[in-house]
A = this chain, B = another copy of it.
Amino acid sequence: MDDARLIVDAETVVAERPRDHKAELRLWLRLLTCATLVEDEIRSRLRSEFDVTLPRFDLMAQLHKAPDGLTLSQLSGRMMVSNGNLTALVERLVEAGQLERRVSETDRRVVNVVLTAQGERDFAAMASRHEGWIADFFGELSDAESEDLMRLLGKLKASARAAITGPREGR
């Protein structure tokens, strides 16, 4: 067809060829495999050692980082999870005695959630084990490799965010 414009320079050629993106696809699949591999194993260990689900662990981790408690909306924002989801999740942890709900006195719409002493203790035990597991999973990477990976993932994160948020042409 119009091969005339093809030979400009290497970059342009790459950009204009309707090339297949199998390499990116493989990269994505590998990234997903790694994440799933690690996540599923953590899930399974949390379950067998502590009889806790990953979402509950995540929720407790958020509250641990915020000793003064958080509202449901703050939690759903930080956990990237829907508000309705949280209502049920919190409910179960309250039943288990690890969380406490406190309806705000200044604004009766908001519910503050805090770890109980029991919840704090339970979480400490889990977090310590959890950190060790992660160290094991990443154990074969040298410090330099970890740094490289950290940097590349940082770049990917920025790239993906741009691709997701960006394409609002004309603003």
A residues apposed to B, CB below 8 Å = 20-28, 30-41, 80, 131-141, 145-146, 148-150, 152-164, 167
Contacts and interface: CB of A to CB of B under 8 A. Distances in A.
Given A21-B131, A21-B132, A36 B163 contact: no
Q: How many copies of the shown chain assemble into the complex? A: 2
A136 to B, nearest CB: 4
Contacts of A152: 141, 145, 148-149, 152
A160 B135 contact: no
A138 B34 contact: no
Contact of A31 (B35, B80, B135, B158): B35
Given A21-B131, A31-B35, A37-B164, A138 B153 contact: no
Contacts of A141: 152, 155-156, 159
B164 A156 contact: no
B34 A146 contact: no
Contacts of A134: 21, 24-25, 28
Contacts of A30: 150, 153-154, 157
Given A34-B35, A138-B160, 19 more contacts: A21-B134, A24-B134, A24-B137, A28-B137, A30-B157, A31-B34, A31-B149, A32-B38, A34-B160, A36-B80, A37-B161, A38-B160, A138-B156, A138-B159, A140-B155, A140-B159, A141-B156, A145-B155, A149-B152
A24 B145 CA distance: 11
A13 to B, nearest CB: 13
Contacts of A150: 26-27, 30
